[in-house]
Chain A
């Protein structure tokens, strides 16, 4: 009898199932656990209260990203609280024999950037991290969950999570992207169409010609923001592109063993004819460069569209639109192009990789940051920084008036000194435009692709990359 057809999510889930729990949840084994300084210290503290060891220290990997300054990383860190968090992480890693990728290792960076870089992220794995953007790792055909601090404790103690089964929605992006349209625009368009809560209870499988044509870094950008659409995780089926990316990485096998692995990875892809709980099609050719105008990532429009008006908004969304317009101090019906900006931020686990910096540098090479605009480029990892410097991108940015920084999360959530001040408007390549997200309680964030951020930095206002470059 033929094997039943399965999608990748089902295959990976089944391989990691330990048991079914009385609560109706599944006890799922997590192959790789990534930790960082913000959500792990309390979990380690709870673990020691329970007098439990770390069950699989070799399946746990640590780095420091959220609180680390991007100007001066010398120790002790100037911020005492940040120094305390970092020392605590180092101490926990030493004590429990956990591999720590700190600044001296040369491999430090945003946890979702270094996982793939090191080859720690591989197809068919289950991965978890106390950070909502863990969905990024799904680009490799892994099932990756962002978790809370108690779950970090559970994982340290048992390498397992108690988790409810998910439905799977296949999202097919058809056609071909137009010039000036990037992966960031694709995921913003998906979230706009399906809503910020549309993915609750789902894993998203991204597919179709547009995803097939994407590089691994572009797929990571798409998967990264799955959580902003409410999905618990998102993934892309492994293919030849995936295999080539993983070849020769620090944690992937060599030579003939690699070829055997690669064949197994490819076999994990969803079977032809596998069933889904839902299928959605999106016309990729129709996607424009996108930009947020409001206070969540679903509040986004194409650059040529105008800012929504409350009376043209469906009833259930109207209050949200009104609140967003008031907070942003934007005029309903006005054009978003031409909005003046104060700050430009290129970086984050969404768009802080080498290909992002290359696209932004192409634009930066054509001009100079407008007087009065603060612009910073924060590489996603030490490796990205090194590569960019080898290609001379740092020089391009510096010459154009951008600050060139050390790796970290930086102004994505502003737990380090990089923050907005007052009502500043920031063109940002990050993933969340929530009120106060970038460090000022009244600061305003416009999410867009890194190339669009660079173009806005030069123009001093939001511009359509297709017209300006």
Chain B
């Protein structure tokens, strides 16, 4: 997904039902095992999200739970997305259908990769996170709304304030999360800078 040639996509809120994957330090190898990196497009990546964990859970993994099948918001624990920097991880989750992540905390590179795909990662304090996880598991059809502008999350358990870094919030609200589009905006200043370089790649 990218909006370079279309109009700006400003993301000021995400709405939908949730799905909970419990546990801390869920690394990118678990999100998308390394063997699925031997591919030429990300198209098929959604199918392989959490593949090994889902196989091991024999159909009992939250991603295979029918009650969560329309979920747009993935609720996770601490340090989600740690390990290798592979962009295949957020790509897999996005293509599986998630549009935002709520968790205790996120690994820096994972969160950065998410931003560049327009997927907000917002954080909650321990007790709010526990409440949200509980509500989603009890009432999977319950709507969750994340308002990026006001930094509020609303669900059946009530209203909570979420964390999101200022810079990222700005990028999402302004539609600046798509780096290609932002960089294209420099127009021929790119060619001018290139022409002024003291080197060119041909001998």
Contacts and interface: CB of A to CB of B under 8 A. Distances in A.
Interface of A: 15-19, 21-24, 27, 29, 31-32, 38, 41-42, 45-46, 49-52, 55-56, 58-59, 61, 67, 81-82, 84-85, 88, 119-120, 122, 124-125, 132, 148-151, 153-154, 157-162, 250-254, 264, 415, 436
A150 B202 contact: no
Given A19-B186, A23-B170, A157-B184, A124 B198 contact: yes
A159 B38 contact: no
Contacts of A22: 170, 174, 176
Contact of A42 (B41, B186, B199): B41
A253 B40 CA distance: 36
Contacts of A18: 186, 189-190, 193
Given A23-B171, A45-B41, A58-B202, A153 B180 contact: yes
Contacts of A157: 4, 180, 183-184
A162 B178 CA distance: 10
Nearest to A159: B190
A415 B38 contact: yes
Contact of A51 (B5, B117, B171): B5
B203 A250 contact: yes
B123 interface: no
A59 B186 contact: no
A291 to B, nearest CB: 24
Contacts of A150: 87, 113, 116-117, 179-180
Nearest to A251: B203
A27 B197 contact: no
B40 A50 contact: no
B27 to A, nearest CB: 10
B8 interface: no
Contacts, number: 132
Given A250-B203, A251-B201, A16 B193 contact: yes
A410 to B, nearest CB: 15
A264 B198 CA distance: 9
Contacts of B4: 50, 52, 157
B180 A29 contact: no
Contact of A88 (B40, B116, B117, B197): B40
Contacts of B183: 27, 154, 157-158, 160-162
A23 B166 CA distance: 9
Given A15-B196, A15-B198, A158-B186, 9 more contacts: A16-B193, A19-B186, A23-B171, A42-B40, A81-B39, A150-B87, A158-B183, A251-B202, A252-B203
A125 B43 CA distance: 35
B190 A158 contact: yes
Given A82-B38, A251-B203, A154 B189 contact: no
A114 B198 CA distance: 22
B2 to A, nearest CB: 6
B201 A58 contact: yes
| Interface pairs A-B: 7 shortest CB-CB | A41-B40, A158-B183, A81-B38, A88-B40, A149-B87, A45-B41, A160-B183
Contacts of A58: 200-202
Contact of B87 (A24, A122, A148): A148
Q: Is the interface of A mostly helix, strand, loop or mixed?
A: mixed
A188 B184 CA distance: 40
B167 interface: yes
A154 B39 CA distance: 20
Contact of A29 (B34, B39, B197, B200): B197
23 contacts: A18-B186, A18-B193, A21-B176, A23-B171, A24-B167, A29-B190, A29-B193, A31-B201, A42-B40, A42-B91, A58-B200, A61-B201, A82-B38, A85-B40, A132-B85, A148-B86, A148-B109, A150-B116, A154-B179, A157-B183, A159-B190, A415-B37, A436-B29
B40 A45 contact: yes
A81 B167 CA distance: 39
A305 B39 CA distance: 43
B130 interface: no
Contacts of A21: 176, 182
Nearest to B192: A18
A190 to B, nearest CB: 22
Nearest to A200: B108
Contact of B179 (A122, A124, A151, A159): A151
A439 to B, nearest CB: 10
A151 B86 CA distance: 12
Contacts of B179: 150-151, 154, 162
Contacts of A250: 203
B194 interface: yes
Contacts of A59: 194, 201
Contacts of A56: 194
A120 B171 CA distance: 35
A84 B189 CA distance: 37
A166 B18 CA distance: 38
Contact of B189 (A19, A125, A162): A19
Contact of A49 (B2, B190, B202): B2
A288 B122 CA distance: 46
Contacts of B193: 16-18, 29
Nearest to B84: A434
Contacts of A19: 186, 189
Contact of A122 (B88, B91, B199): B199
